[in-house]
Structure 1
Amino acid sequence: MKPIATRLPSLGLAAVLIFATSSVTRADAVNRYAQGGPHAVRVANDAWRDAARDRSVAVRMYVPQGDGRFPVILFSHGLGGSRGGGSTWGSHWASHGFVSVHLQHPGSDESLWRGRDPGDARRALRAAMSGREFLERNADLAFVIDELVRRRAAGDVSFRSADVARIGMSGHSYGTRTTLALVGEHIGVLGSNPERRIAAAIAFSPAAAGPDADYAMRFGPIAIPFLSITGTADDDVVGNGSTPENRLLPFAHMRPSGKHLLVMREGDHMVFNGVPRLSRLDPVREEIIFRFAKAASTAF
């Protein structure tokens, strides 16, 4: 029995090993992390105003209930998405004791396609893959971290259990561009400018977008623990040339220590958005992929 991909130690340490038959080693550990955790979860929506940029960032927060100090995970949606993206991941992580904060990025969110004919929507989506929106997204994350710290210090009841000294980052698709940039990817003249308050990252459908370059120079500066999750059918959906093979490049060119890769058979691009029934997959295959993605990301 040959695995689809393996760069991960046993689930008890970091993640999960998926086989072509969907069987796994350490099934007990997979079950532990794939099942909902012990915490009830409160979901709350808000919009936070960044006065310095005259910009409002909508957020959806999945907050575990109970005593304790819970690490924070920030989630950045893909192109044309919303704070509703990653709902399966956010609710699951919260049940296991993480405060999951999902951002909505104005200018690269669902406003690009809602109420537009398909041709206009495609043009708007392509236009949003710009340097300006890329930088705005990065600034959104820095602002949200600042706001979390401020609200926690001010005694905001929603964040009194949030451990803002332990922050992780995640994203899907275009949100992985944001994730990679914030954890140290070297981007042309911008260089490498990691957000030092982010301690680990999970990327759903990462890619090495842009022209071929010295990938070791681009991804080598990433020095924090990093989990890449993708699938054998994780193809291009916006016309940027991404392929399932291309999505392995960030992992391949990161430093040897602290990086992990999970590749799932038949996993397509939209299943990793973490919203049920958005992908082309049948419900059974979708649930299998959700199960192992939840297990790996939670254990990591």
Structure 2
Amino acid sequence: MIRRPFVVALLAFVLTAITLIGPARTQSLSNEPGFRIVDFDWVDAARSRPVPARLHWPNEIAARDPASKARVPLIVFSHGMGGSRRGYSYLARYWAERGVASLHVQHVGSDRSVWTGNPFTLVQRLHSAAHESEALARGLDVRFALDRVLSNDAGPYGARIDRQRIIAAGHSYGANTALVAVGAGVMREGRRIEAKDPRFSAAILISSPPFYGEPHLASVLEGVTVPSLHVTATEDIIRIPGYYSPAADRLAIYNAISTPRKAIAVFQGGSHSMFTDRAATGGRDLNPKVKAATAELALAFLDLVYDGDRTSMTRWNARWQPIMALSPGAPSLLSPVARSRGLVQATN
């Protein structure tokens, strides 16, 4: 999705600039029975870039051990092209109700504003939003937002976050952003350009597009060493003006990561946008099932990574097998349709 060359001098400045904190407005929007929602309107003054974010925080009653003061795991989530901090609420709700917080970061250079304005310049706006400089800026947005939520600037939440269980996650362009946050990078003019944040100890990657138009994904992803969960579907095809990516590209990302600490789930059928909050896309019956399965799978993956507990993953495989082309950790085979699309099974 990201094809144009970096302006290396600009990137060097961005990567080495001291992060300054601009004015921030915090607003508590709701306090649900199981969780609360808090919006932050942060500004990274060093880049003159707003970094809005929405935190879904589990209430004490929702913690797995309500009597304890245990630290709370945090998933930092990056939206796809044209999204916002309000998106993927079904994931945030499910996670928060089960004791896992999520911080949804909005990227102003590639957020919902790309869809507004003159329709004749839409392709130009999309190309600009997919430029490599914006891809790196998104990675720095994630770093900045994590800095802020872990600080006193976010109120009481930072002190409760488990520093050993911070996960990068995202959908589509956001999955690429999460990969950048955990070590993906490219070589430009003899130097590697990346925005890796060592505070992330795992990644959840939904519908990852290709990187930078480069044919050698292994070199792009060689810095990704944390455990990663990949989620896609046999009809996970990206079609936006001026851009096309077949479902097999999702598998290419998975296969190019060298660490064996990875798992993949491929749903049968579906669509690229069914992982967003949109209803019905990918099939009226399948859409809500995939949403429920994806939210549940993420936590089963975290149980496996952090606690070595396979119980949740085993239960997940048994429950959702009817809608799967390939299940994580299961010896299932891809359907003929999946194979015809180049979705070959890889070793988990």
TM superposition score normalised by structure 2: 0.69
2:228 is matched with 226
Distance 2:197 2:211 in 1: 21
User: 1:40 aligned to 2:41?
Assistant: no
Question: What is the alpha-carbon root mean square deviation over aligned residues?
Answer: 1.9
1:178 is matched with 177
- The structural deviation recorded for 1:160 is 4.0
TM superposition score normalised by structure 1: 0.80
Q: Which runs of 5+ in 2 are unaligned?
A: 1-32, 61-68, 302-348
2:54 is matched with 60
Amino acid across the alignment from 1:299: A
- The structural deviation recorded for 1:128 is 1.2
User: 1:74 aligned to 2:76?
Assistant: yes
**Are the counterparts in 2 of residues 192 and 221 from structure 1 also a CA contact under 8 Å?**
no
Detail structure 1 runs of 4+ shifted over 6 Å in the superposition: none
Distance 1:149 1:288 in 2: 34
- The structural deviation recorded for 1:93 is 1.1
1:99 is matched with 101
Percentage identity across aligned positions?
A: 30
Matches within 5 A, 1:244-263: 244-263=247-266
Q: Secondary structure at the match of 2:137?
A: helix
**Are the counterparts in 2 of residues 64 and 98 from structure 1 also a CA contact under 8 Å?**
yes
Q: Which runs of 5+ in 1 are unaligned?
A: 1-38
Amino acid across the alignment from 1:250: I
Distance 1:222 1:184, change over 3 A: same
Distance 1:125 1:193, change over 3 A: closer
Q: Secondary structure at the match of 1:188?
A: strand
Which of these residues, 267, 270, 273, is aligned with residue 270 of structure 2?
A: 267
Distance 2:132 2:193 in 1: 14
Q: Secondary structure at the match of 1:100?
A: strand
**Are the counterparts in 2 of residues 148 and 164 from structure 1 also a CA contact under 8 Å?**
no
Distance 1:177 1:146 in 2: 20
2:122 is matched with 121
Radius of gyration: which is bigger?
A: 2
- The structural deviation recorded for 1:163 is 2.2
Distance 2:259 2:52 in 1: 36
Distance 2:183 2:285 in 1: 37
Distance 1:203 1:155 in 2: 26
Distance 1:50 1:165, change over 3 A: farther
Greater relative CO (CA pairs within 8 A, separation 6+): 1
Matches within 5 A, 1:140-179: 140-151=141-152, 156-179=155-178
